[in-house]
Amino acid sequence: MVNISDNPVKQMLTFGRYCKRRFGKRVRKIPIALAGFTCPNIDGSVARGGCIFCKNESFSPTLDKEPKFALKLNPKMTENPLLETQLQQLQNQYHWQSDFHYNKFGVEKYMIYFQSFTNTYAPFETLKKLYTRALELPNVVGLSIGTRTDSVELELLDFLGDLAQKSGQEIWIEYGIQSVYDETLKFINRGHGTENMESLIQESKKRGLKVCSHIIYGLPKETKAMMLHTLDSVLKWESDGIKIHPLYIIEKTMLANLYHQGEYQPISLGDYIELIVESLKIIPQSVVIHRVSAGVRNDTLLAPKWCFDKNIQMRSIRDALRDAGIEY
């Protein structure tokens, strides 16, 4: 007979639990999308066309609400005519979203999430001003900056490390790792390989920054063993946090073409859930889990259809985790 106390429930450190422990309150991430930002994998610096699944607007609904500007920034520019617009957008987007979360859910503390495109791909002076202003907004406890591992200079990490130390606020760098297989990164037209992933994570941590590694399950030609090996690698590199996404197909992307030609089949909900259960068995309870689901709730989603509703997705994931003795 199995004694229940022999099999204690493993409670994961979700981002929500982490924030409550760290800041004593619920914290909401506020996604920010600013004019002028792009990605070196889109503007031709390393490639054109972007990752085969990328349609950045559908990942960043805030972008639809902002006016469009033809000018796109890159780190080599010495001037940024959009800076005042960007600072205003930052403030406006923060206030309307934080007001909403305060009025509807009583959330009092926020983390600014520079989410769309590559948020370190702009002139250094611009980045300094945006990050500094973001930390000065009321009730902000920290920043989260989404980027690629080919777009972060050590000089920027030095600045962010100092900023975190001086302000006493927390700064997360969210690296889009996706896979630790060069052949996969090549196939998805990532525009970079695995070369500096580990060292960049270490350099960030050395400066007191928190690292969240994003990984994707269901990438073309990857087996479950490969996906779990990617997870294992980012854990070995001592990521402080993990975000896991299923790969879904958005209309008018290269991945959509492959799907229509019968050359790519998305991961099934059953397989994805199985992988998440396996993953959470491996992830230590000290690692912050930022997310294990993703989807897009509009008709640009081609497949898999289970990525339409994140709530249904999460319900199935939670049920399976509970059966495995894991509390998420």
Of residues 27 and 211, the one with the C-beta less far from ligand SF4: 211
The residue to which tokens 């100092």 are assigned: 162
User: 178 is written with which tokens?
Assistant: 């996706």
Tally of CB atoms within 10 A around 224? 13
Binding region for ligand SF4 (CB under 6 A) out of 35-43, 161-169, 204-212, 261-269: 35-43
Binding region for ligand SF4 (CB under 6 A) out of 19-27, 48-56, 62-70, 166-174: 48-56
Work out which of 29, 35, 36, 41 binds ligand SF4, going by CB under 6 A: 41
Of residues 44 and 81, the one with the C-beta less far from ligand SF4: 44
SS3 of residue 132 by DSSP: helix
211 binds ligand SF4 (CB under 6 A): no
CB of 210 to ligand SF4, least distance (A): 20
Please list every residue from 68 through 87 that binds ligand SF4, using CB under 6 A.
none
Work out which of 28, 29, 148, 243 binds ligand SF4, going by CB under 6 A: 148
CA dist 166 to 159, 170, 172, 266, Å? 11, 10, 15, 45
Closest by CA position to 122, among listed 98, 152, 99? 152
User: 45 is written with which tokens?
Assistant: 């610096």
Binding region for ligand SF4 (CB under 6 A) out of 34-42, 76-84, 125-133, 314-322: 34-42
Closest by CA position to 143, among listed 246, 64, 29, 253? 29
Binding region for ligand SF4 (CB under 6 A) out of 1-9, 39-47, 68-76, 226-234: 39-47
C-beta of residue 71 within 8 angstroms of C-beta of residue 36: yes
Q: What phi and psi values does residue 327 have, to the nearest 5 degrees?
A: -100, 120
161 binds ligand SF4 (CB under 6 A): no
Work out which of 39, 211, 227, 255 binds ligand SF4, going by CB under 6 A: 39
54 binds ligand SF4 (CB under 6 A): yes
Work out which of 12, 32, 51, 160 binds ligand SF4, going by CB under 6 A: 51
Binding region for ligand SF4 (CB under 6 A) out of 2-10, 37-45, 234-242, 269-277: 37-45
Of residues 38 and 80, the one with the C-beta less far from ligand SF4: 38
Encoded one letter per residue, x for contact with ligand SF4 by CB under 6 A and - for no contact, window 88-117 reads: -----------------------------x
Residue ranges of the alpha helices (H) in 113-266? 124-136, 154-167, 182-187, 197-206, 224-236, 254-260
* Pairwise CA distance, residues 14 & 171, whole Å: 17
Binding region for ligand SF4 (CB under 6 A) out of 36-44, 94-102, 200-208, 223-231: 36-44
Work out which of 31, 32, 37, 56 binds ligand SF4, going by CB under 6 A: 56
Q: What is the CA radius of gyration of the chain?
A: 20
Task: Tally the C-alpha atoms within 13 A of residue 139's C-alpha that lie toward its C-beta.
Answer: 19
Strands (E), the chain: 10-11, 13-14, 27-32, 109-114, 140-147, 170-178, 210-217, 241-246, 249-250, 288-291, 301-303, 326-327
Residues that bind ligand SF4 (CB under 6 A): 39, 41-42, 50-51, 54, 56, 117-118, 148, 176
